[in-house]
Structures are given as structure tokens and as C-alpha cells.
Amino acid sequence: MGGLGERSVTGENRESERAARLRLSRLAEPGDRQLGQLVRKFGAPTVVDRIGARDTSVPGVDNYLTRWDEPVADLDGLAAIDGRFIIPGDSEWPTQLDALDDTVPWGLFVRGCDLRLSVLRSVAIVGARAATQYGLHVASELASDLADRRWTVVSGGAYGIDAAAHRGALNCGGSTVAVLACGVDVSYPKGNASLFERIPTQGGCLVAELPPGTHPTKPRFLQRNRLIAGLTRATVVVEAADRSGALNTAAFCRQLGRQLLAVPGPVTSAMSAGCHRLLRDDDPARLVTAADEIVEEVGPIGSLAMLPMIVDSVRDGLDPTSLRVLEAVPSLVAGGLADIVRDAGVERRLVAGIILRLVAAGLVQQVGDDGFRLIHGAGDRPGSP
């Protein structure tokens, strides 16, 4: 499909294109598919002119006209808050958003670092607002470890998992992007106001498709989630109840063919029920527990997660017969050789030799002439007999 951005965002019509898209950001709600189809077919300036002329070929034209007299975003005012408005075809435009087809944003309001460069290597971390301490810890650790590996952490700026992910990235000097369901000059929720000030001043950026001064609504939160999924290579769901908004982000992730990842939690936690459902019922979803595993899924070929270090214990080095003898040695009260022979089911001659080796290895203690007792924990220490 020949997108409008491909046709008209360069050359002499560029400023009129930008102005028309600014106007659309005020007139229409995010994710307006019908209007998006018209923009792709005819171009933003033509669509805006048709709305102004009350052209009924624009579905729901009267709805857009209810906002016709509202002020359009002022680029000078945007610059005063160190913001800018980018559109398809700009050097800063993240081309991965083109996968959204008819729901591609008219443009994006940005405060902070270069958005396109920031999200070239990016992962979304999302989850419950009413997160548990477990979820907050996991989100922060994942974000911090990803930032250490020079991956940008993208989330939605909400309480809970989102805020923990943003802070985890910032606290280790990494980059993070907050995609907002309001204007880039609106702190919502207010409790995260200091976080929104930190992000653009510490190497990250705030992003919104709604003009400055706009406040969020529930539908805008849901549409915001498509941008989180669209900007990133993968979405990691840390905690999500059965009806969590994070599952909406996961659905967009699936639709776009991006990698969907989920963190398991306690089976008794309602906040992990959504994650468990994704892992159980959603074939593309993969279980992850660490940043290395995330990078293995979305990084370059060869970015393999390190296997957990498993230290061989003394017990692991025993042959099957010796292990049977060791298991037959009592742990509380010393037992005689005859009792060990019977319990192990191994002939006395072999037991006598094995017991001596187990004593020499520090696994068994000899008590008196014919008594033996297990030394607690000795078989679990590293080494070999």
C-alpha cells in the first residue's frame, strides 16, 4: 500500500503535511482506522480540507467538526518545553511503526532524546499497576540489566511495573522511553511527576500522539499500548491479572508479529494469573526470568543466555552402589555395618570397602569399632570423593 508518508512528507508540501497532521492530532482520537485509511489514500491535507468542508465522504465527519475550533498544537510552544512534533518521513521517525498500517499515528510529540535511535534496540516491560513487591523487584532488575546491555526500556509511565521498569533503567544510567496516553506536558499519574522530569533529562524521552495539554481516557490508554508494542522488538509482561491492560499490549504484540515474553510468578498470586495464562495458552509466548534470556530472544544471532552454574557435589560423583551404601548410613544414631548391609542390599565385602572410602571422603563418621553415622550436608558440598 502506498502510504501517505511515503508520498507526501518530502518536498515542497512537507510543511503543509506537518500542519495537517498536527490538526488531525486534535480532531481525531488515536488509532482511528477509518480516518487512517483516508489519510493513506488521499493525504493528510486533503482529508483535513474535506473535514472542514463537512464532506460526508469522511465517515463521522460531524464528530471531527466538534473539535474544529479547538486550538491546534503550537510548535513554538512545544519548543518552549523542549518538545517537537515528528511525522513519517522525518529522520527521527521510527519506521517500525509503519507495521501499524491504518492506525499509524498522524505524528508523535517527543520530549528528550532522538526517538528513532533510542528504540533501535528496545524492549517493552509492562505489567500491573497494583504490582506486588515481587513484580516491582523483577521489573526493576530486568530493566537495569537490559540497560547495562545497552537496550532501551520502553513502558507506559503508569504506577507499578511501568514505573519500576523506567526507574530501573534510569538508576543504572540507561535509556528509557515513556509512551503516554496524554500530552507530553501532562504528568499522569501525578505521583510519577518527578519520574517524568527525570526521563527526558537523563537520556530518555517522553512520547505521545496526543497534543500538549490533553488528558488521558481509558480508550487512549488502550490505544497507547499499540505504540508500546509497535516501537519495540519484544514485550515482556512481568505481572498481569486476568483483565490487566498489559494483556492488551500483549495482544498488539502478537498482531504485529513481535516477540511476546512473560515472567512467571507464584501460583497463588492473582497478579501473575495473566502471565501464566499467556504461557499456558499463547503458543508464541516464551517464559523468561532474566535479561540474558530476553536478549537471547530478540538480540543478534549468537546472543545466547548463559546456562545457570550448577556445581557438582560430592554425592554427584558417587557410583550407584556407593550411593546406595551412603543412603543406608543412618543420620542421627550410629548404625552397625550389618544394618547398613541389610538396608543397602549390598554384600558385606563391598560395603566394608565403600564405607572406608566414604569415611575418607568426609561423608561418613566412624563411631566406635563398628558404628557409622552420616555427616549432615557433607554430600552436598562441591568436590568429588
Long-range (24+ apart) CB contacts under 8 A made by 337-340 are: 337/370, 337/372, 340/372
With bands split at pLDDT 50, 70 and 90, how would you rate the model's confidence at 284? confident
Nearest to 86 by CA among 69, 68, 105: 105
> 3-class SS at 283?
coil
Contact 334, 368 (CB under 8 A): yes
Rounded mean pLDDT of the chain? 89
Locate 129 and state its grid cell.
499497576
What domains does the chain contain, in order, with CATH numbers?
4-70 (no CATH), 107-298 (3.40.50.450), 315-380 (1.10.10.10)
Residue with cell 535511535: 117
pLDDT in tens, 139-198: 999 999 999 999 999 999 999 999 999 999 999 999 999 999 999 999 999 999 999 999
- Give the model's pLDDT for residue 70: 87
Give mean pLDDT, residues 28-45.
94
Q: Is the confidence at residue 273, as pLDDT, over 70? A: yes
- Give the model's pLDDT for residue 202: 95
Strands (E) located in the chain: 83-86, 108-112, 122-126, 152-155, 176-179, 205-208, 234-237, 259-262, 286-287, 335-336, 364-367, 371-374
Nearest to 338 by CA among 365, 362, 374, 372: 372
With bands split at pLDDT 50, 70 and 90, how would you rate the model's confidence at 110? very high
- Give the model's pLDDT for residue 362: 87
Q: Is the confidence at residue 369, as pLDDT, over 50? A: yes
Q: Is the confidence at residue 302, as pLDDT, over 70? A: no
Q: Is the confidence at residue 304, as pLDDT, over 60? A: no
- Give the model's pLDDT for residue 8: 42
Q: Is the confidence at residue 12, as pLDDT, over 70? A: no
Q: Is the confidence at residue 250, as pLDDT, over 90? A: yes
Could you tell me what percent of the chain has a pLDDT over 70? 91
Could you tell me what percent of the chain has a pLDDT over 90? 73
Contact 123, 298 (CB under 8 A): yes
Amino acid code (one letter) for 124: A
Contact 385, 357 (CB under 8 A): yes
Backbone φ and ψ for 372, nearest 5 degrees, come out as: -140, 140
Q: Is the confidence at residue 301, as pLDDT, over 50? A: no
Contact 196, 93 (CB under 8 A): no
- Give the model's pLDDT for residue 313: 63
* C-alpha torsion 210→228→250→238, nearest 10: -120
Q: Is the confidence at residue 303, as pLDDT, over 50? A: no
pLDDT in tens, 333-366: 888 999 999 999 999 999 888 998 898 888 999 9
Distance CA(375)–CA(359), nearest Å, equals 9
Q: Is the confidence at residue 373, as pLDDT, over 50? A: yes
- Give the model's pLDDT for residue 306: 52
Locate 35 and state its grid cell.
480516518
